[in-house]
Amino acid sequence: MKKKLSPDEMVKKLLAGDRRAAARLITLVEDEMDEQHEVMRQIYPHTGKAMILGITGAGGAGKSTLTDHIIHKFREQGKKVGVVVVDPSSPFSGGAFLGDRIRLQSHSQDDGVYIRSLASRGYLGGLSRATHDVIRIIEAMGMQIVIVETLGAGQDEIDIIHIAHTCLLVLTPGMGDDIQAMKAGIMEIADIIALNKADLDGANSCIRHLQGVLSVASFMEGEWIPKVIPTVSVAGKPEDLRGIDELADAITEHQAFLRKSRAIDKVKYDRVELELGLIFKDELEKLIFKGLKGTGKKKEYIESIINRKNDPYSVVEEVLNTYLVQGE
Ligand SMILES: Nc1nc2c(ncn2[C@@H]2O[C@H](COP(=O)(O)OP(=O)(O)OP(=O)(O)O)[C@@H](O)[C@H]2O)c(=O)[nH]1
Ligand SMILES: [Mg+2]
């Protein structure tokens, strides 16, 4: 039988760059095992230096294909790259997991690249929270860049994007209406916009549209203005690829901007605030349900809501007032 490593041993191996230890620790986070908190406590001091690049966009926009190119660029610079593909099992992505594997497998022999998917199953603690921890595990194994690929479809995904230092939004031609709907959002989410599949019809008008949206947006002095870069990330001949170098340069430029303007401080602050909120929410929920269960009140409350003797808001208020010490 395989010997079960203690959390301490796993962390030690992880810090030495051991890929199997990383895989096991990520599984431990995914399964929300009891050891998770202790492991993350030990890992925490070894994190915080990696650059986190979020890549988001609709299903099939070309996120993974671009990720593949970006990995190559960073590897040319000698940087080690980790990738977390979040939610590949989503019904939106149409079985992209296999596709991602194929697209990213050119790196499978490269020790400087570590790729892991996070399936969205029923995390009690939520996907965002798991993603924070998984990024840290990948950082702690020595990766200098961590790319997080997520589907940009709803609020949750946008949350995940707050995890990143630099956020790349991947759009495609023919998304005019979506862009209209996202007008405000785009500016909030994207540091860089790749208009991918620029080989398809409608690319030019889409670029003009995006530039129009940006030109009427108001930016404060010294603020980063999102860059729009047309890209072709799949082509029959390598010389038909477009925008890959520009994209890599824009990422580097945004990183330099964050450091120079000290905007990175705010990004880091927001990130910790978000994560604390997530942890408070989960842990409080667990605490409250556990406490109520002990008193037998949980069932009582739930049944009173079902029978319309009570409503969820009143119950939450009552529980908070009864069981939580009021702040002065
Ligand atoms: N014509 C054209 N097709 C592209 C381009 N980039 C990617 N594709 C194709 O678009 C499809 C989706 O690409 P992916 O990289 O898997 O897209 P994704 O955003 O990661 O997709 P999900 O993970 O499913 O959300 C693939 O069939 C690619 O070959 C491009 O620049 N031009
Ligand atoms: Mg993908």
145 alpha carbon to ligand 2 midpoint, in Å? 18
Report whether residue 275 contacts ligand 1, using a CB cutoff of 6 Å.
no
Report whether residue 96 contacts ligand 1, using a CB cutoff of 6 Å.
yes
Q: How far apart (Å, rounded) are the C-alpha atoms in residues 253 and 185? A: 22
276: phi then psi, degrees, rounded to nearest 5: -60, -45
For the CA of 241, the nearest atom of ligand 1? 31
Domains delineated in the chain:
49-271 (3.40.50.300), 276-323 (no CATH)
pLDDT reported for residue 107: 74
pLDDT reported for residue 178: 60
pLDDT reported for residue 274: 85
pLDDT reported for residue 47: 94
For the CA of 100, the nearest atom of ligand 1? 16
Tell me which DSSP letter residue 84 carries. Answer: E
Nearest protein CA to atom 2 of ligand 1, as residue: 197
pLDDT reported for residue 90: 46
9 alpha carbon to ligand 2 midpoint, in Å? 33
Report whether residue 93 contacts ligand 1, using a CB cutoff of 6 Å.
yes
196 alpha carbon to ligand 1 midpoint, in Å? 9
* Cβ count within 10 A of residue 310: 16
User: What CA–CA distances, in Å, run from 321 to 71, 137, 288, 325?
Assistant: 51, 38, 12, 8
Q: Are 239 and 61 in contact (CB under 8 A)?
A: no
Report whether residue 200 contacts ligand 1, using a CB cutoff of 6 Å.
yes
pLDDT by 10s per residue, the chain, length 328: 566 788 899 999 999 999 999 999 998 988 878 888 899 999 999 999 999 999 988 888 899 999 999 999 999 999 999 999 886 554 444 344 455 555 566 777 788 999 988 876 655 556 777 888 999 999 999 999 999 998 765 555 556 667 889 999 998 997 655 655 565 566 677 899 999 999 998 898 888 888 888 887 778 888 899 999 999 999 889 899 999 999 999 999 999 999 898 888 888 888 889 889 888 988 888 889 988 888 889 999 999 999 999 999 999 999 988 877 655 4
Q: How far apart (Å, rounded) are the C-alpha atoms in residues 47 and 141? A: 9
Report whether residue 232 contacts ligand 1, using a CB cutoff of 6 Å.
yes
Give 324's Cβ-side CA count (13 Å radius).
Answer: 14
Ligand nearest to the CA of 152: 1
For the CA of 57, the nearest atom of ligand 1? 19
Ligand 1, from 55, 64, 89: best to mutate by most atoms within 8 Å of Cβ? 64
**Cβ within 8 Å of residue 206, ≥6 positions away:** 171, 172, 173, 174, 175, 176, 179, 195
For the CA of 198, the nearest atom of ligand 1? 31
Residues with CB under 5 A from ligand 2 (ion): 63-64, 96, 100
pLDDT reported for residue 53: 95
Report whether residue 102 contacts ligand 1, using a CB cutoff of 6 Å.
no
Which residue is it, tokens 């996907």? 127
Report whether residue 117 contacts ligand 1, using a CB cutoff of 6 Å.
no
pLDDT reported for residue 300: 93
Q: How far apart (Å, rounded) are the C-alpha atoms in residues 34 and 28? A: 9
86: phi then psi, degrees, rounded to nearest 5: -90, 135
pLDDT reported for residue 279: 87
Nearest protein CA to atom 32 of ligand 1, as residue: 197
For the CA of 232, the nearest atom of ligand 1? 31
Q: How far apart (Å, rounded) are the C-alpha atoms in residues 225 and 213? A: 12
pLDDT reported for residue 325: 63
Helix axes 127-140, 36-43, angle to 10 degrees: 50
pLDDT reported for residue 67: 94
| Token reading at 108 | 């499978």
Residue 231 one-letter amino acid: T
66 alpha carbon to ligand 1 midpoint, in Å? 8
pLDDT reported for residue 283: 86
Q: How far apart (Å, rounded) are the C-alpha atoms in residues 88 and 96? A: 6
Please report, to the nearest 10 degrees, the dihedral formed by the alpha carbons of residues 256, 257, 261, 264 taken in order: -80
